[in-house]
């Protein structure tokens, strides 16, 4: 069987199957993605739900009609596809929940959001699903900023204990209305899943492959009848917001990472400015959001 070698999130990855979203790379792999039989359950899970089980350095995800996934020790992912499963469907979960579990096992801080580079500094847009994180990042990239991550943002503390955003891979996931809003040709794009009007937009031309210091985090909040406004999150509320916007917090906690996670978010809260952007989606245009963000993010390096 052919092996494919990639780089994503600072890791060299060997895979049994083709992953077009990742960047091809040459080097010694530290993560291995394999086809194989996945155990039906974990022996002593710390958390057990209908679709997933988790324990220290172990994670099991079972998705009917798609695949079973087993993640272990931060270096191995085993995939057992269901009969007639579509590879697009398998990759959606592999690059989301499954890879998040692996990064958590490797003690990355994983936040839910899209990030860009502004003058050598990392800016993260986070918020609930559908809040416009990817759309805003894509629109800013069209204005010349560089993309770091989309949806799943991996952060590590450097040798001085400061948080750095680690580049993911050069793709953005956008719903159909966002694709059209950005003026992209939807006929040239392929849905990320056959039954979903969500598309993967290539961002290779605007992708940064270098880790950068995390300097700012914006939380996108939708609120009916609200004016477009931005407000600073006070120091006393930063930890709560970082926990809320952790990617699959239950996965991390059940894998025994809670203590390390707290140290990481405390380090982020200590040096990263966090603000909330509140708007009424029905009343606020993308252009208004871009204007506010560009005016605001300029302050990141003026301080």
pLDDT at 169 exceeding the cut of 90: yes
Other CB atoms within 10 A of residue 74 CB: 18
Average pLDDT score over the chain: 91
Q: What pLDDT sits at residue 93?
A: 95
Q: What single DSSP character describes residue 161?
A: S
Give the range with max mean pLDDT: 33-42, 182-191, 293-302.
33-42
* Rg of the chain (C-alpha set): 19
Secondary structure (H, E, C), 236-301: HHHHHHHHHCECCHHHHHHCCCHHHHHHHHHHHHHHCEEEEEEECCCCCCHHHHHHHHHHHHHHHC
Other CB atoms within 10 A of residue 50 CB: 6
Helices (H), the chain: 87-93, 99-105, 133-142, 176-181, 235-244, 249-254, 258-271, 286-297
Measured distance CA(107)–CA(256) in Å, rounded: 10
Contact, 31 vs 77, CB < 8 A?
A: yes
Q: Is 214 left (phi over 0), alpha (psi -120 to 50) or beta?
A: beta
Q: What pLDDT sits at residue 52?
A: 92
Buried b (16+ CB within 10 A) or exposed e, 256-280: bbeeebeebbebbbeebebebbbbe
Q: Which residue has the tokens 């993010």?
A: 297
pTM summary value? 0.93
Domains, the chain, ranges and CATH?
4-105 (no CATH), 109-300 (3.40.50.300)
Instruction: Give residue-wise pLDDT tens across range 90-100.
Output: 999 999 999 99
């Amino acid at each position: 069987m052919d092996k494919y070698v990639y780089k994503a999130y600072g890791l060299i990855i060997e895979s049994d199957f083709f992953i077009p979203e990742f960047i091809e790379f040459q080097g010694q792999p530290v993560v291995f993605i394999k086809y194989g039989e996945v155990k039906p359950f974990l022996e002593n899970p710390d958390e057990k739900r209908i679709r997933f089980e988790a324990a220290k350095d172990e994670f099991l995800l079972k998705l009917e009609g798609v695949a079973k996934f087993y993640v272990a020790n931060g270096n191995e992912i085993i995939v057992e596809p269901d009969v007639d499963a579509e590879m697009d469907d398998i990759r959606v979960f592999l690059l989301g929940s499954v890879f998040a579990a692996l990064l958590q096992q490797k003690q990355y801080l994983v936040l839910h959001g899209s990030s860009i580079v502004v003058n050598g500094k990392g800016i993260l847009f986070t918020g609930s699903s559908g809040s416009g994180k990817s759309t805003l990042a894509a629109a800013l990239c069209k204005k010349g900023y560089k993309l770091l991550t989309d949806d799943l943002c991996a952060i590590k503390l450097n040798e001085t204990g400061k948080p750095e955003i680690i580049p993911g891979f050069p793709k953005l996931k956008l719903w159909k209305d966002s694709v059209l809003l950005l003026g992209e040709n939807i006929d040239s794009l392929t849905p990320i899943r056959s039954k979903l009007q969500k598309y993967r937009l290539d961002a290779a031309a605007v992708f940064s492959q270098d880790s950068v210091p995390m300097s700012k985090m914006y939380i996108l909040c939708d609120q009916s009848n609200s004016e477009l406004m931005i407000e600073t999150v006070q120091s006393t509320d930063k930890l709560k917001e970082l926990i809320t916007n952790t990617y699959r917090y239950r996965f991390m906690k059940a894998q025994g990472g809670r203590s390390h996670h707290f140290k990481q978010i405390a380090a982020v809260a200590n040096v990263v400015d966090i603000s909330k952007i509140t708007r009424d989606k029905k009343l606020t245009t993308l252009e208004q959001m871009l204007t506010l963000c560009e005016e605001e993010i300029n302050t990141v390096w003026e301080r």
